[in-house]
Amino acid sequence: MRRSLNTTITLNNGIKMPQFGFGTVRLAQTDDEKKAIILEAIKTGFRKFDSAARYDSERALGAAIKESGIPREEFFIGTKIWSTDMGKDRVIEAFEESLEKLQTDYVDLYMIHWPAPHKYLITWQKMIEIYEAGKARAIGVSNFNIEQLETLYEKSTVIPAVNQMECHPSYQRLLIRDYCQKHGIFLEAYQPLAHGLYLDNPTVAGIAAKHEKTPTQVVIRWHLQSGIVPIPRSTSAGHMKENIDIFDFELDTDDMIALNGLNVERSVNNFAPNCMDPTFFTY
């Protein structure tokens, strides 16, 4: 299929979401600097943005969208609730604070950032209220494992539209991807470039040379052709342009096999064992 930057996929509730987005964690120090980077991303063509209360990027994102002069409906805004606001008391209030910072009266995707034990189920019920009130067009989760997704599946009435997880060629999340696919949940890939891990990888470099593209472009194509939703971040206008200049080539079967062969199912985050496993670790 011929794709472009804002080609959409259809989520499990029927709403459409661009398959390619822009991440907003650690963009810059000040809101003005963050806003300038987001405006550059909008100018480059991005319309889907990933934010979170925890990233402190909502205010800059809301301001950039307003300043762009482009109608709100043309954007797909995703944001997330952080663990300290989860539970029965603060969810609605935290959501309203996000709306206020984003200068909007609805979000396109509202997610639970981390499956804080004992809190994620009740938080999900509250998010269903937000969804049913029409203030979030879709709701989803992030960093959930299969067991936690199963809990939502069994104990609630709405299945997450998205599970946002670390994912890239050496950490392909095959088991959970398979689970998500079977249950109509899209896998959105955070750290899709693994912070530059593939820039020097000989397999990726070989494929890039064959197509006269860069290693980063090859990795983004791998995501799109694997049915994953990548949300790379960049503070550089040059990198932004490079990252979207990927719609004039296609990875062939040999390329995909070689890239799939890089999988070691290991995170690039240099944390202690189990630190990023939500079964063991909580914020």
Cβ-based nearer residue to ligand NAP, 154 or 235: 235
Cβ-based nearer residue to ligand NAP, 62 or 232: 232
Evaluated on CA atoms 222, 225, 231, 236, the torsion sign reads positive
Please pick, among 55, 110, 120, 179, the residue that the annotation labels catalytic. Answer: 55
Give the residue from 94, 26, 24 showing the smallest Cα distance to 63: 24
Site string for ligand NAP, 112-151 (x = CB under 6 A): -x----------------------------xx--------
Is residue 50 within the footprint of ligand NAP (CB under 6 A)?
A: yes
Site string for ligand NAP, 68-107 (x = CB under 6 A): ----------------------------------------
Is residue 60 within the footprint of ligand NAP (CB under 6 A)?
A: no
Cβ-based nearer residue to ligand NAP, 59 or 134: 59
Residue by residue, DSSP assigns 243-259 as HH--TT----HHHHHHH
**Is 55 known to be catalytic?**
yes
Is residue 19 within the footprint of ligand NAP (CB under 6 A)?
A: no
- How many residues would you count in the chain? 283
Is residue 192 within the footprint of ligand NAP (CB under 6 A)?
A: yes
Cβ-based nearer residue to ligand NAP, 254 or 277: 277
Burial 93-115 (b: 16+ CB within 10 A, else e): ebbeebbebbebebbbbbbbbbb
Piece in contact with ligand NAP (CB under 6 A), picked from 67-75, 203-211, 234-242, 246-254 = 234-242
User: For the purposes of burial, counting CB atoms within 10 Å of the CB of 23, is it exposed (0-12), middle (13-18) or buried (19 or more)?
Assistant: buried
SS3 78: strand
SS3 135: coil
Is residue 23 within the footprint of ligand NAP (CB under 6 A)?
A: yes
Is residue 208 within the footprint of ligand NAP (CB under 6 A)?
A: no
Rounded-to-integer distance, Cα 152 and Cα 143, Å = 14
User: For the purposes of burial, counting CB atoms within 10 Å of the CB of 134, is it exposed (0-12), middle (13-18) or buried (19 or more)?
Assistant: exposed
Piece in contact with ligand NAP (CB under 6 A), picked from 17-25, 147-155, 200-208, 250-258 = 17-25
Cβ-based nearer residue to ligand NAP, 1 or 272: 272
Q: Least distance from C-beta 180 to ligand NAP, angstroms?
A: 15
Q: Which residue in 104, 233, 251, 255 binds ligand NAP (CB under 6 A)?
A: 233
Rg for the chain, CA atoms, rounded: 18
Residue by residue, DSSP assigns 139-163 as EEEES--HHHHHHHHHH-S---SEE
Angle, helices 58-68/31-44, rounded to nearest 10 degrees: 50
Is residue 198 within the footprint of ligand NAP (CB under 6 A)?
A: no
Which chain residues interact with ligand NAP by CB under 6 A?
23-25, 50, 113, 142-143, 164, 190-196, 216, 231-236, 239, 242-243
Which positions are catalytic? 55
